[in-house]
Structure 1
Amino acid sequence: MRYFLIIFLVTFSIKTNAQNTQYYLFDSIPIQEIDSVDKHIIDSCFTVYYSNTTDTNKANALAYITNAIQYDKWYLFLFSEKNGLNTLLKNQTDEVTISFLNQKRAQCYYNIGFFYYGYESAPYYNQDSAFHYLFSSLALYEQLNDLKGQRGVSNNIGSYYEKQGDIPKALEYYYRCLKIDEETGDSLGMANSYNILGSVAKNENELEKALDFYFKSLTIAEAVKHKYYIASSLNNIANVYLIQFEKDTLLKDDTTLLVKAFDNYTKSLSLFQEINNKYGVAAITYKLGTLALTKKDYKTAISLFESSLEKFRPMNNKLSLSMVLERLAKAELSINRLESAEINAKQSLAIAQQIDYPTYIQNAAETLSEIYVLKGEGLKALESFKLYIENRDKVYNEQSLKAKIVESTKYEYEKQKAIDDLRNEKLIAIEKEEKEKQQLIAYGSTTGVVLSFFLVFVLIKSNRRKQRDNQVILQQKKEVSLQRDLAKANEKIAEEKKVEVEERNREIMDSITYARRLQEAVLPPQKLVKEWLTNSFILYKPKDIVSGDFYWMETANYMQDGKQHSMVFFAAADCTGHGVPGAMVSVICAGALNRAVNEFQLTDVGEILNKVTSLVIDTFKKGNDKVKDGMDIALCGLDIGRKILYTSGANNPIWIISKNKKLITEMAYNTFQHEDELPLYLHEFKSLKKPIGLNDIEEPFTTNVIQLEPEDGIYVFSDGYPDQFGGEKGKKFKYNNFRKLLLENFHLSMDEQKITINDCFENWKGEHEQIDDVCVIGVKINGKERNNFTNREIEVLEYLILGLPSKLIADKMNISNHTVDTYRRRLLAKTNTFNSTELINYCKAKEII
């Protein structure tokens, strides 16, 4: 059986002075939901209410319940308080008591309005009811001439209008608060008002105006020496400086704004620590982390975010926790701490979904998608990206709805104005016509009796003619008005369609741009490629913003004849399709290549392609449809020190240009020689005729070994270059012309070859559309061993010969110990040596130094 604390519906018995007395209360609350402390407070307050004869004491008792109890549904007692106050007011005649009760009613209505607005996701959210009670509260405070009460209600009304996107209305009430502050001489109120006005200006992207408001707030706060408001203003000013830096791309190399932001954040943090404001300390610590992230100081950013997280956790502020966790994941992602970044991003997403906050769901999903790309988990990356797009659209639609509310209000006003103007024009015309009639009648009366009948006849005829003319004019006006309304309606429809198309185009372009970011994350930086393959070039020309082609590079150690050697892998790959679909497939295929080398520790190029085929098929098997997407690829593994090339491929060939007519290899190949380039031969090594991905060919990929000589050149490419239409007859460029182009320009440096090959492509294409993605990689075996090394590697080598340790080398080169060790490992890999002594002996023997 369920027991209730019954208020107003039945009687409630309370023992007072050893007697049982029954009291009528105002509402019904489930008694088992209320703890003993709250029940004692309620019993005591209602005892006072019914035992006391003074209305002011009764009102205080009702108000005390909602202020004192800890019950989750405390707001239910607000309506009890409202009903009780209205009952007390009905028969009251004393002006002082009436004023007191109205004061309590104003506060009660304010609380109910605040309760109804709450959060939009709350089940009791009701915007109309909220405004009804807030404006009722404001009216009572105005009646009482209570400026403090008016300010409090006006501030909340302004806040609600701002949430709706009605900025003019919000500013009207915010400025009303500022005016009251000035009238009452409330300095802290003025500081608060300027801070609010600054926030509105900041959100409307009026950053200079925002700074002006924030500095006014700071000046007032410093004058009254109020540390909280000083800290808040400094924080707000720093936020604007940071936004200005992020928005203005021309200032990216100017750190002045970042320095200003850091100074203000630091001062704000110091003040919050002085007054022991824990939330302020946690929030500013987070802001300093954001600043460090903007400056790409990732380790400092991680440390600050972790500190902020530690401070926020005891507060259980879920919004802040989700925000900090996402930024922490972003910073960890930037230094490749993928496992930790994934854990924090997942936590951020879970909290954001729990509180249903689309902006933070969007941010966490975006970060997760980037993490999964780097981990080579293509499907998870796509799922996270889809969640990011869904919530980005949800955020955008909410913002658009607010904008449309403002626009709708403006449209209704203009529409009503047009109707009023038309009505006024009609009244003026009628009035003018009446005046003309009166003048005509007055003139006729003076003509005498003789002409009176004649004039009456003329007037009647004239009046009939005017009526007909008026009807014609009226009909014409209606037709013109109808056409005008129709034109306006069509114009409005066209404008809405235009906005809709622009929004859709923007969403599509945002998605494509984001896909490019995902793809760029898996491509090795060309600077890194140059550090390993010093005499090389990469020509990469996507057809669209993103590409189905990609280039790939990785390094690994391998064992042969009981000795460890180093190998540099590089490849040109052509995935199914181009644009966004091709780019998504390329992310999956590049991730499979990375896993084959790094996770499965494979160094045999044939085995690598067999494993990549298996991984790609397994990835696409997870869907319901049978997916045959995959890639064609030419894969090379180069032992730089021994000049041995290991090759394997799927559909795409590998070309080697050499002065030697025959190469040292057991693999079959075709040889081409350009008639004008007699000393040069182009050797073509064909690949297995099957793609990477689902297919019916069971033959596995194998590895071919080729011994190269100095000045030999290796070329791998996709089919986009030879298949391009162009020239005078609009035909394909073809492979014969491509071979001829490479042979004719082989004497040039690799950088010059890249420029020449690109210029030839553009000249051939002319006005034609690029039909496919283009990727060409060229690598030349250095004639001089010294050319295998970068200038920085040579510099480290020279210091090693002098016998300097890593720390001293780092000091002399102004780099870190870690960077010196990286150069040392790369020197050992390129020379196939295993310690500094072997390295130095090798370099002396080869006259590298």
Structure 2
Amino acid sequence: MFKKRSVYFLLFFLWLSVSFAGNKEKIEKLIQKIAQDKEDTIKVLDLIDLSTYYYYSDLGKAVKAGQEALDISNKLNYNRGAIRALNSLADNYWYRSNYDKAFNYYYKAYRISDSIHDKGSVAEALYNLGWISCIQQKHYKDDIYLYKSLKIATEIKDTNRLSALYNAFASYYSNKFMDLLQRKNFDSSLIYFKKGIDLCKKTRSYRGLSVFYANFGDLFYAAEDFQSAEFYYLNSYDLSVGKSDSSTTVSLKFKIARCRTQFGDVKKQLPDIEFARDFFERHESNEYEMEILSFMPELYYKLGRYKEGYDSYKIFVTKQEEAEAAALATSISNLENNYSLEKAEANVTQLKKDNEITELKNKKKNYFIFGLIAIALVVLIITFLLFRQNKLKQLTNTQLQEQNNIIKEKKEEIEHSIQYAKGIQLAILPEIRDLNDRFKESFVIYKPKDVVSGDFYWFAKVEDDFYCVAADCTGHGVPGALMSIIGTDKINQAIFEKKLTSPGEILSFLNVQIKNVLKQHSDASIQKDGMDIAILKFNANNTEVEYSAANRPLFLIRNKEIIEYKATKTAIAGFTPNEQVFENHTISVNKNDTLYIFTDGYADQFGGPMGGKKMMTRKLKEMMIEISNLPATEQQKTLENTFRDWKSTFEQTDDVLVIGITI
């Protein structure tokens, strides 16, 4: 990913700075002009242009022209020409992934630029050195070159260079985020993407803006923020339609559709995804095609079309094997080219030293013989590898069928285990009649997103007091269910073993204990799971309630007016420090007051008459005010019916838990 983006940004910056036609007619005219040029600065510039024309097609000719330009520049003491020649040589090696040679030439360009105090050239050289250091990924501290380049480009107000640098930093931190899963890298990437977007808007660089939006979308998709990813893909698509090649727009349409499958609207996105797959297969765009093929099995699985999912997986594996074989052939070709080029360079150097023409011819003859031998060996090796690969492919197909049967059996075992786990989780939850015995007008709405849930409730009468808890653990499904068991255990320990009575003290105890259980001993810990939770403690005659919470509010509705009590703005465990204090509220309650505590699943559900909108807490609040004077059974029925109608055909977003109590 990092290497692919680096080449893309190199080409992006070259597009910003210069454009070459590269046809045969222009090359021939330029060669004729160079033959007539005197050995001066004009010839240097013409040779650099010729090197650039050969950039994509012929490395040997490109390097030869660049080296001749460098030699003449050194002879004339023409520093700016030497800088441009060195950059041209480095660009050619970079494009062919020979990063060591590219780094050496860029560093020489930097030394000359610094010696003549040419800030623009210094910024360019530092930018290139920084990119190569990051590509090679020797250390994640190598972005120091990029920072130095950014400082100079900002000082001299080089907008083209700043745009490329913002792209570089955004991609750099984006890849650090994907590799190390550190939030600070995600935030750093956002900062530079936004700076780049602002700069492109200011300079009206719409092509650059489209690139930023697309990469912004990739970052949010990697972070599993699919709504934001869709938003930026759509922005990039709007800028690309009619302005970029069709492959760009088709790729963006695929990425938009892939995001939308995460919202539950899978079937509707299938035509766009299949169209993109067929388009890139026709145009032999392997990189895009492989990205789509890797997603197809998951897509068909969501649709319940398991046969097509399995067939897609086989196609993906076959294509991957073909791509690896092609990459091997390309690598061999590059090795041959580099081998020939290095030998030619050695011959030229030897010729300049002693001018032994006869010896040079003999060496070329030897190199030709060795080359033929090497090519023969390579052909034999490739033939052997292809034969072996064909055998392995046959074996892989058999193994895939066996693995498919194993996967099917494992799936059935896992589903059985999860159903069994559901029974265990329901057995751990308290009986709702314990709440109804204390409050005749009360209810609980409990809707797991999956078979088991990360939301849980807890009731208990302790002497004359009564505790009521609503909690939302990190995640849902099996991970959330495991967290709910830990949470239930620690609440029991706090109240029945440690004899803690204050909700705030109970939350502080939970914070420390859950961090200990999950070994969250430092900020460097990868394990950052936790929970949001609200605790109510009613006194003996239900005239007073103590409330404390982590991220979950309390709604108290009295005479159709709502009083909202805010929670402490932090979660239990995760990033929360051990010494965190949770605010404790003591509230007087009257007869017919209605209290609600709940998790965020209800308000975060997508759906509604417009489709794809969150319900939001404001709408939930209005509904609770409206139903607060109804009997508890009617309140529960209204909330459940409203949730069902709002969700409609959309997939349930999260676990749902609502507890209502009327005094």
Greater relative contact order: 1 or 2 (C-alpha under 8 angstroms, separation 6 or more)? 2
TM-score normalized by the length of structure 2 = 0.49
- Which protein has the larger Cα radius of gyration, Structure 1 or Structure 2? 1
